[in-house]
């Protein structure tokens, strides 16, 4: 049995995310992530062992002595600061030898290479959709096949399936905009907003072009969603009415039809809306009317 660790034969498979291990103990430690046995009380992250949890907890209490000179964000190590600084500098030292696409971190390049190899070893047991990395499979199961939303906003109570989504959402309430443009004074709440700004306003970066209709996109996710429309693949099905759509986003938006949940609120009059675009349209009218009344 020990020899399998040398041959690289992974015979033990996780029933939750299909990740495979060469030893049963490795699988047992991994399963703790799904059961939440070692869960951080501060951020909700689940660790495989008590030792990993202890190391992770130190990241919350460790003194962040390394500060970014651009946005003042602080880090516990110089390595984290160097990686973060590439967001502002645009430096991407890890380049794909197949398509020349470059990345900030080596792990991002490693993940990207699976696009060229077509390697998708992680398959969803519920819909047979395949993924190149286990984290994408886990996210898919949470977002598509589960209604569990363990992360709630302390300001408005909105629930999220991912801690990263909650982190970005909280910035709406705090007004934090950690991503700043080095060419002008504009700041953004999300990294993708900064990337889009750099492309549109400063011609920095590379537009992604659809090979079929030549439409341009600033993000790979938007291009992928667009390509689905050409392929007419509607793999996401509503559990209430069986309507099929192309993306997770469209499914979530459609499911609001079957719900009374209104997550967007006008800050002027308190009226609630199901969709962001509706509250934006309303806010313009509401602010205009309020100005007229005050005059």
Q: How many residues does the chain have?
A: 295
Domain boundaries, the chain: 1-60, 262-295
Residue range 1-60, CATH number = 3.30.160.60
CB atoms within 10 A of CB 102: 16
**pLDDT digit string, tens, across residues 190-207:** 888 888 888 889 888 778
The CA distance from 245 to 235, in Å, is 6
Closest CA to 268 of 250, 252, 282, 249: 282
Q: Where are the alpha helices (DSSP H) in the chain?
A: 4-7, 24-35, 50-61, 78-89, 106-117, 134-144, 163-174, 191-202, 220-231, 248-255, 276-294
Contacts of 187 (CB under 8 A, 6+ apart): 177, 178, 179, 180, 181
Q: Are strands 66-67 and 74-75 parallel, antiparallel or unpaired?
A: antiparallel
**pLDDT digit string, tens, across residues 211-222:** 888 888 888 778
CB atoms within 10 A of CB 155: 11
User: What's the confidence (pLDDT) of residue 291?
Assistant: 52
Structure tokens at 65: 């002595």
In the predicted structure, residue 270 carries a pLDDT above the cut 50: yes
**pLDDT digit string, tens, across residues 218-260:** 887 788 778 777 776 677 888 888 888 877 778 877 887 887 7
Structure tokens at 75: 């880090």
Tell me the three state secondary structure of residue 263: coil
pTM (2 d.p.): 0.47
**What 8-state DSSP symbol labels residue 131?**
E
In the predicted structure, residue 182 carries a pLDDT above the cut 50: yes
The CA distance from 88 to 79, in Å, is 15
């Amino acid at each position: 049995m020990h020899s399998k660790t040398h041959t690289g034969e992974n015979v033990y498979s996780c029933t939750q995310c299909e990740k495979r291990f060469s030893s049963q103990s490795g699988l047992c430690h991994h399963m703790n992530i799904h059961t939440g046995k070692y869960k951080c009380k501060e951020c909700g992250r689940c660790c495989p062992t008590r030792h990993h949890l202890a190391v992770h907890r130190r990241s919350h209490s460790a003194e962040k002595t390394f500060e970014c000179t651009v946005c003042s964000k602080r880090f516990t190590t110089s390595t984290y600061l160097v990686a973060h600084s590439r967001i502002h500098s645009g430096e991407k030292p890890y380049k794909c030898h197949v398509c020349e696409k470059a990345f900030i971190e080596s792990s991002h390049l490693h993940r990207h290479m699976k696009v060229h190899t077509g390697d998708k070893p992680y398959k969803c047991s519920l819909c047979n959709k395949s993924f190149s990395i286990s984290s994408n499979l886990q996210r898919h199961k949470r977002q598509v096949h589960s209604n569990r939303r363990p992360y709630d906003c302390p300001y408005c109570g909105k629930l999220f399936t991912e801690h990263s989504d909650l982190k970005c959402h909280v910035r709406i309430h705090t007004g934090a905009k950690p991503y700043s443009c080095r060419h002008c004074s504009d700041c953004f709440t999300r990294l993708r907003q900064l990337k889009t700004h750099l492309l549109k306003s400063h011609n920095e970066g590379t537009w992604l072009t659809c090979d079929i209709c030549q439409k341009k996109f600033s993000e790979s996710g938007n291009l992928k969603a667009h390509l689905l429309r050409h392929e007419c693949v509607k793999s996401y099905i509503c559990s209430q009415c069986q309507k099929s759509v192309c993306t997770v986003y469209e499914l979530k938006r459609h499911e609001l039809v079957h719900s009374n949940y209104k997550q967007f609120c006008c800050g002027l009059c308190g009226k609630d809306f199901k969709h962001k675009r509706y509250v934006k349209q309303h806010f313009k009218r509401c602010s205009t009317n309020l100005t007229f009344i005050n005059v």
